[in-house]
Amino acid sequence: MNLLIDIGNSNLRWTCHGQDCAWDMAVVRHSGGVPLDLLAQWEQLEPPERLVVSNVGGQEVADALERVTRALWRRAPEYLRTEAVFGGVRIAYEEPLRLGVDRWLALIAAHELCQQACLIVDAGTAATFDLLLADGRHLGGLILPGVEMMRKSLLMGTRIPRIEADPAGEPWATDTAPAVAAGSLQGLASLATRLFDRLAAEAGQSPRLILTGGDAERIQPALDRPAQLVQDLVLRGMRCVVDAGA
């Protein structure tokens, strides 16, 4: 059994992978460490053969993870690194390591999943958009603040009242705080539409839109293009890498 661990800016996702293992993703907020409830779950596991990790959450959580895994299983985590070419995917960045490993793994998973042009939207603390052609060629991408970061940055510089909830129904609002809430969702959704249409023109066919990340379900209702929600996309990419013997 292998333990696959995806550490994002805010959340940690994990699952067991191997023969007779159920593919069952779990999600926790990590806050720069390993939460006690996660530690309690891991204490119930059989010692994994490998601990394979994607980490964009920083060194603090990486250090905490290593302390825990060495204490529990006397195993050190193995951190994946972005490669220029893998599994038919060729990334656009001239310096591969400047592309976040989570985005790289999402590209690998998306290519395996759909075998056609696709737009990958990862709506997390940051919102990333990556464009992939059917032949595995990565065209590049864009990064914006995520929903909460976008809202907080605006509230910090204005006297707009605190936002209590996401808007429902119409894509616009009739009060100031709801207008900020709607704007954060509609802005990301509108960019997804623009990139989807540009990718369709580039590929010569309608692409797939794959949506993942902690705020994916909040953004999905605002989209006006069909989207497939795949919350374990990065973990699927990790599975591809492990199964390939890396």
Residue 220: burial class (beta carbons within 10 Å; 0-12, 13-18, 19+): middle
Handedness of CA 63, 68, 70, 73 (dihedral sign): negative
Distance, C-alpha 198 to centroid of its chain: 22
CB 230 within 8 A of CB 236: yes
Q: Which of 102, 130, 215, 232 is catalytic?
A: 102
The verdict on whether residue 122 carries a ligand-binding annotation is yes
Is 9 annotated among the ligand-binding residues?
yes
Active site residue 102: yes
d(CA 184, CA 160): 14
Asked whether residue 6 is marked as a ligand-binding residue, the answer is yes
Residue 12 annotated in ligand binding: yes
- 55 assigned binding-site residue: no
- Residue 125 is assigned to a ligand binding site: yes
Name which of 161, 53, 168 is nearest 105 in CA terms: 53
Residue matched to tokens 């990718």? 199
Contact yes or no for 146/124 (Cβ under 8 A): yes
Q: Is 54 annotated as a binding residue?
A: no
Q: Is 211 annotated as a binding residue?
A: no
Task: Enumerate the active-site residues.
Answer: 102
- Feature table: binding site for K(+): 122
User: Binding site residues for ATP, as ranges?
Assistant: 6-13, 125
As annotated, the binding site for substrate includes 93, 100-103, 176
Binding residue numbers: 6-13, 93, 100-103, 122, 125, 176
